[in-house]
Structure 1
Amino acid sequence: MTSTFAPAPGAAPVVRQILTQASMEARLMLRNGEQLLLAVVIPVIILVAGVRGSERINLDYDVQTFAPGVLALAIMSTSFTALAIATGFERRYGLIKRLGASPLSRTSLLSAKVLALLAVEALQVVVIGGVAFAMGWEPDISVLGLLVTILLGTTAFASLGLLLAGAVRAEATLAVANLVYLLLMAGGAVVLPASAYGSFGDVVTWLPSGALGEAMRAALDDAAVAWRGLAVLAAWTVIGSIATAKTFRWE
């Protein structure tokens, strides 16, 4: 009997490659306890502690202020810190090198990681938003502003996280990513509005952290679209993506 089997070797379509890689990335993130700590547990602790602490010392900040800022912090922690650390160690263990031998390009890898981040961030919004609602949060939402802010915040920080992970050793990535996270959390106008930093507030709004925080507050407090903040995030996305595409090393 003559076989009609005709092998047709070749790469899968780019969209299928990206979706498959994104699905795997999302599952790995949700199974990693350290990344879940960064993604959900720490932001929830900051939300509760910030609101209760402000009440005790009579600050003007309440859950209306903290909830959008903590959501912005969660996006930053997932798309920058967790992604940079995970990718850095993937390079160290040779996983990225093996992906480099596949048809998956740098652009496709970045796209897949961003899609995985968006899936995890949807979970973050549900959990953190649920805690905030339980504490009396009453947002005034611009759906367009919220969705565009999450998308551009994710792409901006993901491109910067991959830039860091692809340029230095895993141990250095771990140290630098955590240091940058702490510095931006404390002084980057993420959790608290830029007005809380006095004259320095005008400077931090040009950072991706400040732009993300201000855009999130506009979308959830004022039902508005912070076009200036979104433009800053878009600029950081372009800068980070170009730099990552040119410098990212598979091993």
Structure 2
Amino acid sequence: MTRSLDLSPAPGSASLAAQVMAQARMEFRLILRNGEQLLLALVIPVIVLVGGVAAADRVGLDFDRPVIDVLAPGVLALAVMSTAFTSVAIATGFERRYGLIKRLGTSPLPRHGLLLGKAGAVLLVELLQILVLGAVAALLGWEPEASGWPAAVLVLLLGTTAFTSLGLLIAGTLRAEATLAAANLVYLLLLAGGAVVVPADSYGAFADVAAWLPSGALGEGMRAALIDGRLDGGCVLILLGWSVVGATATARTFTWE
């Protein structure tokens, strides 16, 4: 007795989790192949870390802790900002220009799936950044507070969510050239005055404003975790607020072309 085979088609899309994982893998490979994004992700943070430690005495950086212990958490925060905000914004802006995002819009992948996929790719790059920057910092004498790593991971995740959503907000509403200019300008402004690499109290009268910026909250949260071994609840709430605002605005305004 022969058994008949059911060869009728069974169309259907993959699960959301499978779509997000596939999108994350693709985004991760694209980042690794892009020299400019690798420059933002690894080269610039390494230069800031090594240069900051070497030039601390000359530029008047005076902390109550070793310079490397203060700068290393801030440079990790800078790496998150480089990847989650600037790289995501620029890459997505030009993907919209070349029609790639429009084609994704015809697939079953929803807008929040695109956001999750890009965030997943960013997390993979950040893991690489932590390994490289952590090794460089250790060679320079960094001794982070081991008990603070769980808090640091939470702050990094919140910072990633906030900056990824803000990067997509810019990329989803501006033309590619405007996105390129805006993302680089915001990056430089936050690097110089956003309390990401050095503590907010180093900015004098601007300290209170800097602490409320996503860069300031991320930097202060990382320093609290890896220097003092504690979770800064205020920084967590600020990053949560920026995440909600950025994700909500992106979901409402992001256009596929």
Scaled by the length of structure 1, the TM-score of the pair is: 0.97
* Aligned twin of 2:35: 33
> Which residue identity is paired with 2:8?
A
- The whole-number CA distance in structure 2 between the counterparts of 1:169 and 1:38 is 21
2:165 matches 1:153 = no
* Aligned twin of 2:197: 191
Identity level (%): 61
- The whole-number CA distance in structure 1 between the counterparts of 2:141 and 2:57 is 13
RMSD: 1.2
* Aligned twin of 2:119: 114
* Aligned twin of 1:72: 77
- The whole-number CA distance in structure 2 between the counterparts of 1:191 and 1:237 is 21
**Residues 155-182 of structure 1: CA deviation (Å, up to 9, x unaligned):** 0000000000000000000000000000
State the Cα distance separating 1:60 from its structure 2 match. 1.6
- The whole-number CA distance in structure 2 between the counterparts of 1:32 and 1:89 is 13
State the Cα distance separating 1:3 from its structure 2 match. 5.5
Q: Secondary structure at the match of 1:91?
A: helix
* Aligned twin of 2:98: 93
> Which residue identity is paired with 2:212?
W
2:133 matches 1:128 = yes
**Residues 64-106 of structure 1: CA deviation (Å, up to 9, x unaligned):** 1111111100000100000000000000010000000000000
Q: Which moved more, 1:144-153 or 1:3-12?
A: 3-12
Aligned pairs for 1:1-251 (under 5 A) are 4-57=6-59, 59-61=61-63, 62-141=67-146, 142-251=148-257
Number of residue pairs matched by the alignment? 251
Q: Secondary structure at the match of 1:82?
A: helix
State the Cα distance separating 1:4 from its structure 2 match. 2.5
State the Cα distance separating 1:27 from its structure 2 match. 1.0
- The whole-number CA distance in structure 2 between the counterparts of 1:113 and 1:97 is 16
State the Cα distance separating 1:58 from its structure 2 match. 5.3
**Residues 221-247 of structure 1: CA deviation (Å, up to 9, x unaligned):** 111101100110000000000000000
- The whole-number CA distance in structure 2 between the counterparts of 1:70 and 1:59 is 15
**Residues 32-84 of structure 1: CA deviation (Å, up to 9, x unaligned):** 11100000000000101111001345532411111111110000010000000
- The whole-number CA distance in structure 2 between the counterparts of 1:69 and 1:143 is 14
Scaled by the length of structure 2, the TM-score of the pair is: 0.95
- The whole-number CA distance in structure 2 between the counterparts of 1:82 and 1:150 is 16
**Residues 136-162 of structure 1: CA deviation (Å, up to 9, x unaligned):** 111113122111111000000000000
- The whole-number CA distance in structure 1 between the counterparts of 2:121 and 2:136 is 23
Instruction: Specify every segment of 5 or more residues in structure 1 that has no aligned partner in the other structure, as ranges.
Output: none
> Which residue identity is paired with 1:79?
A
- The whole-number CA distance in structure 1 between the counterparts of 2:169 and 2:190 is 17
- The whole-number CA distance in structure 1 between the counterparts of 2:236 and 2:49 is 24
- The whole-number CA distance in structure 1 between the counterparts of 2:37 and 2:250 is 22
> Which residue identity is paired with 2:44?
I
State the Cα distance separating 1:31 from its structure 2 match. 1.3
- The whole-number CA distance in structure 1 between the counterparts of 2:5 and 2:240 is 54
Q: Secondary structure at the match of 1:205?
A: helix
> Which residue identity is paired with 1:36?
L
